[in-house]
Homo-oligomer: A and B are copies of this chain.
Amino acid sequence: MLTTKQKFADALREWVEVFMRRSMRETVQFWKDAGLSMPQISAMMRLHHHGACGVSEVGAHLGVTNAAASQMVDRLVQLGYLERAEDPNDRRAKQLTLTAKGRALVQKSIEARRRWLDELGAVLTAEQQTEIADALGSLTAAARDLDKAKP
């Protein structure tokens, strides 16, 4: 018989198969339509979620050298999605932030996914929706804790 742990892992694995493949593909497609690549998306998402940071942090996040990060940031600045200002505390460092244009694009990408998720609500009862919302709340909290523990 299956243990609680195994059932949990199986449910999660199945969910990943159905959802992730769809969501990942759609997301990449959205950004490709906007003329941006995976690394560029990752960089902008990093800034959206973690706020301003330096060039090396972006590089570390993507697992590339500072040189690569610098070049990529430069392209995003040219395109008007990022702003690259001098850090007032350390004049060697730069503070990267999303411009209004950058924030708008991130927002649009999030909206696009939301529309698909909304369709799901339509085929579930109110009771199911409440249960699922609660369960996913714990799951999200657990994932965030794990991220904090070892980012």
Residue ranges of A at the interface with B (Cβ–Cβ < 8 Å): 4-5, 7-25, 27-29, 32, 38, 42, 45, 49, 61, 63, 110, 113-114, 117-121, 123-124, 126, 128-140, 142-147
Contact = CB atoms under 8 A, between A and B. Distances in A.
Contacts of A16: 19, 23, 113, 117
A77 to B, nearest CB: 23
Q: How many copies does the complex hold?
A: 2
Contacts of A25: 42, 61
A1 to B, nearest CB: 14
A18 B143 contact: yes
Given A9-B114, A118-B9, A143-B22, A135 B131 contact: yes
Contacts of A63: 29, 32
B133 A120 contact: no
Contacts of A12: 117, 120, 132-133, 136
B133 A7 contact: yes
A139 B122 CA distance: 11
A108 to B, nearest CB: 14
A133 to B, nearest CB: 4
B136 A14 contact: yes
25 contacts: A4-B126, A4-B130, A5-B121, A7-B130, A8-B124, A9-B118, A10-B133, A11-B140, A13-B117, A14-B137, A15-B136, A15-B143, A16-B19, A16-B113, A16-B117, A18-B147, A20-B27, A25-B61, A29-B63, A32-B63, A123-B146, A124-B142, A132-B139, A134-B135, A135-B136
